[in-house]
Chain A
Amino acid sequence: MPRLTIDGREIEAPAGQTVMDAARAAGIFIPYFCWHPQLSVPGNCRICVVGVEDKGGEWIDIACNMPVSEGMVVHTNSEGVRQRRKDTLQFITLNHPVDCGICDKAGECTLQDYHYEYNGERSLSRDAKNHETKHHALSPRIVLDNERCIQCTRCVRFTREVSKSNGLGMQNRADHSLVRAVEDGSFANDPYSDNVIDLCPVGALLSPSFLHKARVWYLKPTASVCPGCARGCTVNLWHRRPEWRLRAPDMRAQNESIDRVTPLENPAVNGPWICNKGRDLAKLLGRARAEGAMLKGRAAELQGAIAMARSLIAAARKPVALVSSWGSNEELAAFRAAFGERLDARVKADHAPEPGEVVEDAILIRADKNPNTAGAKAIFGDAPPDIPKDADLVLVWGEGLDFNRIPAGAKIVYLNAWLQPENGHADVFIPISIQTERSGHYTNFAGVTSAFAKCFPKPAQAADAETLFASLALAPGGGP
Chain B
Amino acid sequence: MRHLVPEFEKLKERYPAGFEASLVLPCLRRIQEDRGFVAEEDIVGLVDYLGVPRIQVEEVLSYYTMLRRKPIGRFHLQACRNIACSMRGAEGVVGYLRKRLGIGPGETTPDGRFTLSVVECLGSCGTAPVVMVNEAYHEDMSLEKLDRLVDELAAAGEGK
Chain A: residues with CB nearer than 8 A to chain B? Answer: 160, 166-173, 180, 182-184, 186
B63 adjacent to A184 (CB under 8 Å) = no
B54 adjacent to A184 (CB under 8 Å) = yes
- Classify the interface of chain A: helix, strand, loop or mixed: loop
A172 to chain B, nearest CB (A): 5
A182 adjacent to B62 (CB under 8 Å) = no
Task: Please report the C-alpha to C-alpha distance between residue A263 and residue B153 in the assembled complex, in whole angstroms.
Answer: 64
Residues of B within 8 A of A169 (CB): 55-56, 58-59
B53 adjacent to A166 (CB under 8 Å) = yes
- When C-beta atoms are compared, the residue in chain A nearest to B56 turns out to be A169
Closest 10 CB pairs of A and B: A166-B53, A169-B55, A171-B62, A182-B55, A169-B59, A172-B62, A166-B55, A182-B54, A173-B63, A184-B54
What are 17 inter-chain pairs, A to B, with CB distance below 8 A?
Answer: A166-B53, A166-B54, A166-B55, A166-B56, A167-B55, A168-B55, A170-B59, A171-B58, A171-B59, A171-B62, A171-B63, A180-B62, A182-B53, A182-B58, A183-B54, A183-B58, A186-B54
> 8 Å CB contacts to A: which residues of B60-83?
62-63
Give how many A-B residue pairs fall within 8 Å (CB-CB).
29
Task: Please report the C-alpha to C-alpha distance between residue A182 and residue B43 in the assembled complex, in whole angstroms.
Answer: 12
A176 to chain B, nearest CB (A): 9
Known: A160-B53, A166-B53, A182-B53. A172 touches B63 (CB 8 A): yes
Given contacts A166-B53, A172-B62, A186-B54, 6 further A-B contacts (CB under 8 A): A166-B54, A166-B55, A169-B55, A171-B62, A173-B63, A180-B58
- Classify the interface of chain B: helix, strand, loop or mixed: helix
Task: Please report the C-alpha to C-alpha distance between residue A385 and residue B83 in the assembled complex, in whole angstroms.
Answer: 80
Task: Please report the C-alpha to C-alpha distance between residue A249 and residue B119 in the assembled complex, in whole angstroms.
Answer: 61
Residues of A within 8 A of B63 (CB): 171-173
Residues of B within 8 A of A167 (CB): 55
B92 to chain A, nearest CB (A): 27
Residues of A within 8 A of B59 (CB): 169-171
Residues of B within 8 A of A166 (CB): 53-56
> 8 Å CB contacts to A: which residues of B64-111?
none
Task: Please report the C-alpha to C-alpha distance between residue A182 and residue B56 in the assembled complex, in whole angstroms.
Answer: 9
B78 to chain A, nearest CB (A): 18
A462 to chain B, nearest CB (A): 48
Task: Please report the C-alpha to C-alpha distance between residue A457 and residue B99 in the assembled complex, in whole angstroms.
Answer: 75
B9 to chain A, nearest CB (A): 25
Residues of B within 8 A of A160 (CB): 53
- When C-beta atoms are compared, the residue in chain B nearest to A169 turns out to be B55
A254 to chain B, nearest CB (A): 41
- When C-beta atoms are compared, the residue in chain B nearest to A170 turns out to be B59
Task: Please report the C-alpha to C-alpha distance between residue A160 and residue B56 in the assembled complex, in whole angstroms.
Answer: 11
B52 to chain A, nearest CB (A): 9
Task: Please report the C-alpha to C-alpha distance between residue A167 and residue B54 in the assembled complex, in whole angstroms.
Answer: 9
> 8 Å CB contacts to A: which residues of B19-53?
53
Task: Please report the C-alpha to C-alpha distance between residue A57 and residue B56 in the assembled complex, in whole angstroms.
Answer: 42
- When C-beta atoms are compared, the residue in chain B nearest to A159 turns out to be B55
- When C-beta atoms are compared, the residue in chain B nearest to A166 turns out to be B53
Task: Please report the C-alpha to C-alpha distance between residue A184 and residue B59 in the assembled complex, in whole angstroms.
Answer: 14
- When C-beta atoms are compared, the residue in chain B nearest to A173 turns out to be B63
- When C-beta atoms are compared, the residue in chain B nearest to A176 turns out to be B62
Q: Which of B54, B55, B56, B62 has the most CB of A within 10 A?
A: B55
Task: Please report the C-alpha to C-alpha distance between residue A183 and residue B54 in the assembled complex, in whole angstroms.
Answer: 8
